[in-house]
Amino acid sequence: MPQPGQSTARSAFGSLVLIAIVIGAGAAAFAYTAGWLSPERLTPDRLVDALRPPSGEPLGHRRNHAKGICFTGVFESNGAGAALSQAQVFTRGQYPALGRFNLGTPDPNAPDATVRVRGLGLQISTPDGQEWRTAMIDPPFFPVSTPQAFYDLLTASASKDPNAMKTFAGAHPEIAAFGAWAQSAPWTGSYAEDRFNGLNAFTFVDNAGAEHAVRWSLLPAVPPVAVAPADLAKRGPDFLEQEITQRVASGPQRWTMVVTVANPGDPTADPSKAWPDDRRAVEVGTLTVQQIQAEPDGPCRDINFDPTVLPSGIRTSDDPFPAARSSAYAKSYDRRTAEAANYPRTTTGAKP
């Protein structure tokens, strides 16, 4: 049907405006979802940026726990965990383990005696094709209650404002307990003498489908011997890596894995709150470290010890940290794999 030209033009113009509105709204919704319109959103990029040490971006390295050394070994399950979780890793048997001893610092060149927090990343593989990855540290509780508080802690620590830490501690009183631990807990001269704690609460699902809130730890077979940090400093900047290499070369080193089961009402969403000592603790198996390999060519180098890589039978709980860690670890992994040229593989036998 013919229409007057002017009306057609106006209607076409109206249509084009409508199209522009639809496209603009779609693009705006996308930008909002991506966080481009919300600069205050705590993104993995911002969290990982906040870890940048004064020594500069550790190109090619993990953005935290940047200094470490690889190990391989075996996890021998004694079967006791099978009552708590249907995961195959708790069925009696031996399963290959791969891991990494590390220092809680974003500086890959930090001298060992200067780093208060030590860690252990672990991956256990089972014949059903599943993996359990966990990254543990040696304090008995986490410094802060929430991922946002962890970001605020990083920001306050890096701040030039002399009152920044005081202000932070006022808003996050839980940091005081960690400060007390850092001051008073003994230092050891070996990773083999350290106890590593998962700290985050997870949910075990047993064969009947019942859920159990748990945390886990690795207890060293070697009794710890306290050494003053000043004495450790005299052993050289890399004494921990040298010591564990020699020790494992002369014999495998063992840790007992203990799963602690919460009582009803115990806090699962806050890793800064340790559970009381009388909680049921189940020894589920033994980690045996059989071989140490330097990180540049080691099997742990390109493993992201993402604590949400879990076999069925273990689930995340209401603890907000595993999700935040997973998101930030992925960002760290994406960055460091793109920077691999900055962290060359060293030995002649390296993979191409």
Partner 1 sequence: MSGVRRRFTPAQRLLHWLIAVCILAMLFIGVGMVSTITPKYLTLVSIHKPLGIAILVLALIRLALRLRYGAPPLPADLPAPMKLGAHLWHFAFYALMIGMPLIGWAMLSAAAYPVVLFGSVHLPAILPQSDSLHALLWDAHFYLAFALFALILLHVAAALFHALVRRDGVFETMASVSTHDEIAR
Instruction: List interacting residues with partner 1 (CB under 8 A).
Output: 12, 15-16, 18-19, 22-23, 26-27, 29-30, 33-35, 41-44, 47, 128-131, 147, 302-304, 306, 308-309, 311-312, 316, 320, 322-324, 326-328, 333-334, 336-338, 340
Structure tokens at 115: 């780093």
- Closer residue to partner 1 in complex, CB, 11/263: 11
Tell me how far CA of residue 109 lies from CA of 57, 126, 210, 238, in angstroms. Answer: 12, 34, 46, 9
Q: Are 119 and 137 in contact (CB under 8 A)?
A: yes
> For residues 27 and 21, what is the distance between their CA atoms, to the nearest angstrom?
10
Min dist CB 210 to partner 1, Å, is 17
Concatenating the DSSP letter of every residue in 28-54 gives HHHHHHTTTT-TTS--HHHHHHHT--T
Angle, CA of 128, 134 and 135, to the nearest 5°: 160
- Closer residue to partner 1 in complex, CB, 172/325: 325
285 in the Ramachandran plot: left (φ > 0), alpha (ψ -120 to 50) or beta?
Answer: left
Min dist CB 204 to partner 1, Å, is 15
In this structure, what is the dihedral angle of CA atoms 266, 270, 273, 275, given to the nearest 10 degrees? 30
Min dist CB 256 to partner 1, Å, is 26
Min dist CB 23 to partner 1, Å, is 5
Min dist CB 216 to partner 1, Å, is 19
- Closer residue to partner 1 in complex, CB, 18/210: 18
- Closer residue to partner 1 in complex, CB, 220/313: 313
- Closer residue to partner 1 in complex, CB, 88/190: 88
